[in-house]
Amino acid sequence: GFVIDKYHAEDITIHEFAHAIHLIGIAPRDTSFNTKLQLALNDALAKGKWVNTYAGTDIYEYWAEGVQSWFNVNAEVAAPDGKNSPINTRNELKEYDQALYQILSTFFPEVTEQISCHSVPFTR
């Protein structure tokens, strides 16, 4: 039988690659980057944002979940469920968490193309 992808509603490749960009590409070259992320996350959590979501776990998941939303490939749920939230697109992120949006905008262009392993339907 086929194994069901537990990440079928999102692009986990983008999420994991975001960790590589953060840990290998940005943080070693900008020693203040993790502090910027921590301050933004602390502010968001103090405002009641990202509660009961993976993004609220720590700066690493805050960044990676933000990158997924930046590229419009995050899963969406009606209410936070311990992993996802209703915030799953760049536009929603811009409205919801300006600080994270601003950080991401310094590294990624506002592309309109769908960048995802799910952008082409699977066929056999």
Q: Is the pLDDT of residue 119 over 80?
A: no
Is residue 8 in a domain? Answer: no
Answer whether 84's CB lies under 8 Å from 74's CB. Answer: yes
Cα separation of 119 and 121, whole Å? 6
pLDDT digits (tens, 9 = 90+) for 57-108: 999 999 999 999 999 999 989 999 999 999 999 999 999 999 999 999 999 9
Answer whether 14's CB lies under 8 Å from 21's CB. Answer: no
Specify the higher pLDDT residue, 2 or 120: 2
pLDDT digits (tens, 9 = 90+) for 8-62: 667 788 999 999 999 999 999 999 999 999 999 999 999 999 999 999 999 999 9
The tally of domains found in the chain comes to 1
Is residue 11 in a domain? Answer: no
Q: Domain range for residue 88?
A: 37-106
